Amino acid sequence: MKNNNVESRLVVFSSAVVFCAALLAVILVLPQFAKADTLSRQLQVGMSGSDVSALQTFLAQDNTIYPQGLVTGYFGTLTKAAVSNWQSRNGIASVGRVGPITLVAMNAQMGGGSTVALAEGAGKVTRVDVPQPILSNLAVTTTSNSATVTWTSNVPGTAKVWYSTNPSFNYNTAPSATTAGFTTSENVVISNLQGNTTYYYAVESLDAQGNFSWSQVGNSFKTQ
If asked whether residues 212 and 160 sit together in one domain, one would say yes
pLDDT single digits (tens) 8-67? 554 444 554 444 444 443 333 333 333 457 888 889 999 999 999 999 999 999 888 898
Q: What is the CATH number of the domain that holds 154?
A: 2.60.40.10
User: What is the distance between the alpha carbons of residues 114 and 116, in angstroms, rounded to a whole number?
Assistant: 6
Question: How many structural domains comprise the chain?
Answer: 2
If asked whether residues 137 and 218 sit together in one domain, one would say yes
| Domain interval for residue 86 | 50-121
Please name the residues in contact with 129: beta carbons below 8 A apart, sequence gap of 6 or more.
none
Q: Provide the pLDDT for residue 8.
A: 52
Model confidence band, residue 112 (pLDDT cutoffs 50, 70, 90): low
Q: Which DSSP string corresponds to 27-88? A: HHHSPP--PPPPP-S-B-TT-BSHHHHHHHHHHTTSTTT-TT----SB--HHHHHHHHHHHH
If asked whether residues 143 and 206 sit together in one domain, one would say yes
Residue 19: inside a domain:
no
User: What is the distance between the alpha carbons of residues 107 and 55, in angstroms, rounded to a whole number?
Assistant: 10
- What predicted TM-score, i.e. pTM, was given to this entire model? 0.49
